Structure 1
Amino acid sequence: MTLGIGFLFLVIVVFGVFGIISIHRLKNDADKILKNNYETLVYNNNMLKALERLPADSLAFTLFENNLALQEKNVTEPGEKESTVAVRQYFERIRINRNDTVALAGIRQSIQLINDLNQEAILHKNQNAREGAESAATWMTIIFTVLALIAFTLVVNFPGVISNPIRQLSAGISAIANKNYSKRIHLSQQDEFGELANAFNSMAEKLDEYEHSNIARIRFEKRRIEAVINNMRDAIIGFDEKKLVLFMNSVAETLIGLREKDIVGKYAPDLALHNDLMRTLLQDEPRTELEIFADGKKSYFVNERIEVRNEEERIGEVIVLRNITPFHELDEAKTNFIATVSHELKTPISSIKMSARLLDDARIGMMNKEQQELLHSIQDDADRLLKITSELLNMSQVETGNIQLKIQAASPESIIRQAVQAVQFQAQQKQVSIKTDLVASLPEVMADTEKTSWVLINFLTNAIRYAPEASVIEVSVSRKKDKVSFVVRDHGIGIDEKYLPRIFDRYYKVPGNYEKSGTGLGLAISREFIEAQGGNVWVESAIGEGSKFGFDFPAIV
C-alpha cells in the first residue's frame, strides 16, 4: 500500500514540477516578445502616424514626443539604441524647422530600422519558444512513458500482492465459519498480511482445541436443546428445585410479557406478585383451560406441570402451556355448524309431524292397515329426529356457554310430576309402570324447573327403553343431610362397571345392545344442565341388576 501510494505521489510531483517549469518558461518567452518587441512596434507606428501630421498639426508633436519617450525606455535589441538616438536628433531639428525634409526622411529611415530589428527579434524569440515547447513536450513524453510503464507494472502485479493474501484469509474465515478449525494460512510475507495470517492461525488452533474439548460438546448440546425449545409452539418455563427461573422460550415471553434475560435466576413467586399469568401458573390447583389474550388475539392453552427428578431427587419443574387454540377453533366451528343445522332441521321435522298427524285423522280419509303402519313409522322417526335435533341444540348451548337458566325455588314434587307426565304415554305403550316414592316434608331446591325436568325425562326415557316389558321403574326423591337426591331406577339388563366412568361423556355409547338408538348426547347434556345449577350427577349399575341414575341439589334451609 505504501509503495502504490508513494508511486502515485511521485507521479503527481514530477508532472507538477515539470509542468510548472515549462509553463513559466513559455510565459517568460511570451512576455519578452510582448514587452520588448511588440510594444516597440506599437510606439513606432504611432510615431509614423504623428509624423504625417507634423507640419500642420501641433497635437502631432505631443503624440510623437510621448511615443518617442516610451521607445527610449524600451530599447532592448542591439543597434536599436543608435537608431532611437537618431530619431531624437532629427525630431529636435524639426522642432526648429518644421519644413526640414531631410530630418523627416531621417526619422522615417531610423524608425524603419528599429521596426526591422524588433521584427527580426520577434521571429528569433518565437523560434526559441517553439524549440522550448518541443523540448518540454519531448521530456514530458519520455517521463510519461517511463511512469506509465512503471504504473502498468504496478497495475498488473500490485493487486495480486493485496488480493492473494486477502483471498487466502477469506477462504480461511469461511472454513472457520463452517467449523473447519484445522484450516491454516501460510504466507511468507513479512508485512501486515503476514502478521494477520499468524494471528489467524493462532485463533484457529485455539478454536480447534476448544471444539474438541468436553465443555464445547456440552455447550453445543445445550444450544441445540434451547433451539428446540424456542421453536416449539407451546410456552415452556423451567424452574429449579428452589423455584428460581432457569429458562423460558420465546412463546412464553410473548404470553407472560417478560423477557428471559430479565428473569433468569429470579425467584418465581416474587415475579408472580406483579404478573397475573405467572401467579396463575404457580398455583397448586389444576386449571383445565386458560384463555390468554396475547399478540393481538385470544388463544387457549392447557397448563401442564412436569416434575423433573434425578433418580429420587427432585431437581426442578417445567410448566408447559400447550396451545389448543386450533382445536378450540375447530370445536367452535363444529358447535356452530351443529347449532345451525339442528335449528334448520326443526322446522321441516315439525312439518312432517304435522302432516303425519293430519293423515292419521279419519276426517282426511281412511287408510288400510299397511298404510297406518307406515304412517306410525314416519311418526316414530319424526319424533326421534326431533329429539336428536333438540339434543344437538341443547349441546350447542352447553358448548358455547349460552345455557339459559331460570333458577328459582322449586318443589321436588312438581319436578317429578312434570317429568312423569311427559313419559307416561311412552311407558304405557311398553306396559311399563312408573312408581314414585316421595319423602314427606321435602325442602325446596334452587333449580331451573324446565331443565331439571328435562334431565329426569331423559333418565326415564332411557329406563323405559332398556326396561323389560311389564316391569316397574322407580322414581324417588329423598333428603341426604343438606342435599335433595333425585333417583330413577330400572330393572333392565344393567351396565358393565367398566363403562360407568365414561357414561356421561359426549357422544359416548356403551358397546353392545346399548348402541341401537340415541346420539350419545342425552346423558352429557344432563350432566351439563345439573352442574350448571350447582348439582352433581351420578350412576350406579351392574350387569343383570338394572341401573340407578340420579342427581343431587343443595336443599334450601
Structure 2
Amino acid sequence: MLRNKLIYILSIIFNNSYFVIISLFIGIIISFFSLIAGFLFIIASVIINLSFSLINSIHFRNFHRELISLPSENGIGRLSNFKNTRLENYSKIINRVLDSLSQEIVQTLENKITSDAIINSINEGILIINSNKELENFNPALVKLLGTNIDPYVGMNINDFVRNDEFLSMIDDVFSTKENKSIELNLFSDEKSILVYAAPFFLSDQEPFNQILVIFTNLTEIRKADNSRKEFFSNVSHELRTPLAGIKASAETLEISKDQSTTEKFTLLILEDVDRMNKLIDEMMSLTQMDLGEENFVKKDTSVNKMIEDTYNRFIFQCEDLGINLKIKKLEQDITIKVDISKIEQVFGNLLSNAIKWTSKDGNINISASLSKTSILFSVSDDGEGIIEEHLPFIFERFFKSDSSRSKVGSGLGLAISKHIIEAHKGDIFVESEITKGSKFTFSIPK
C-alpha cells in the first residue's frame, strides 16, 4: 500500500511573481527513486521551457493545477491532452513517464501480494531477520507454532526474542558466512522438536544481502512416531523371543527324554508357543494394514441379539472348563445394525479372552447389549482382579500390559486392535475398572 504522505517541490519564477508546486508520495519516492528522479527532471525541464513563454496563459494555469493534483489516494493520475496547444507534446511526454511509473508500482505491488500469499500459505513457520538482527516479518504458521502473538516483538532484537545459544550462534554464522545453516532444537518448549533452517535472503540480484530467512519445521509428531516405531520393534522382539525360548527349551527336553508322557507334554507346549507366535504375527499384520488404510471392512445388516448369542456359544465351554459363570443379556426387541461381523467377533474375542484371563474360578463374566439414543452399547464385564487406575489411560495402547510382571500370556495388542476396529465403525470404546472388583469394557456402534 502506498503511503499517504506527500512531499512538495516549490519553484519560484520571475522574482517571486509566480511559482509552481509539484507534490509526490514519499512512498513512491522511496520505492522508485530513480524513476521519479527522471520524472522530476522532465517536469522541471518542461516548466523551465514553458514558464517564460506561457506564464500568463490560462492553459498553463490548468496545466499547473493538474500537475499538483496528480498524486492521489487512488495512485498516480494522468494529464489532459491539451490538444492544439503548445502544451500538447509536453503533456504526452509526462503521461508516458507517469504510465511507466504506474506500471512499475502495480508490478511491485502484485509481486508483494503474491509473495505474501505464498509465505502465508506455507505450513512451516517463517521469520525474517534484518541486518540489525531485528524481527522484521513472520507468517501465521509461526504464530500457531509458538502459540502466541508475535506482533509486539517486531522490531525487537532476536537475542531478546529467542534465548537459545545454539540458535543465536547459528544466526551469527549465517550473517558472517552468508551460507545456509540448519539445526534441530527444543527451541520453544521441551515438548517440541523444531528443525530450524536459516539462509541469506536477497531481495533482488542487484541488492546486497541484508536479511536472513528462518524456517521452523515442527518435527514433534515425526519424532513421536519414530519413538513409537522403536518401541514397537522392541516390544515385538520381546514378545517373539518369549515363545521362541519356550520352544527351544521344550525341544531340548524332547531331545534327551525317552518318556512318552514327557514327550506328549512338551510337544503340546511347543504347539501352544507356535500358536502364540502365529497370533502375534496375525495381530501385527492386522495393525499394519489398519495403519496403512488397507484393512477391508465388509459391513452387512446383522442382528444384535445373534451377535450376543454367537459370542456366548464360542466361549461357554472354555468358561465351564475353568469354572467361570458366563451370562448374557440381550435386547428385549432385537434390531439390526450394519457391521463387519468378522471384525466385531474379533473385538468380542479380545474382550472375552482378557476377562477370562483375569477372572478366578467361580467368578462371573457378563455379555450384554443395550440401547442409547444414537447407538447400540455392547459390554463385557467381569468381577476379576481389576485394573490399576493409573493404567486406565494407557490400556488401549499397543503392547501395553496392566500386568507389569508379564506373568499373563498375551501380546498386548488385542485392545489396540479392538479400538481400531470400533473407530472404523464410527464408534467408541472405553473401560471402567476397580481393583478387586473387576472391569467393564463397553463399545458403541451407531444405529
Superposition TM-score tier, normalisation by shorter sequence: 0.3 to 0.5
What is the TM-score with the length of structure 2 in the denominator? 0.46
- What TM-score, normalized to structure 1? 0.37
Higher helix share: 1
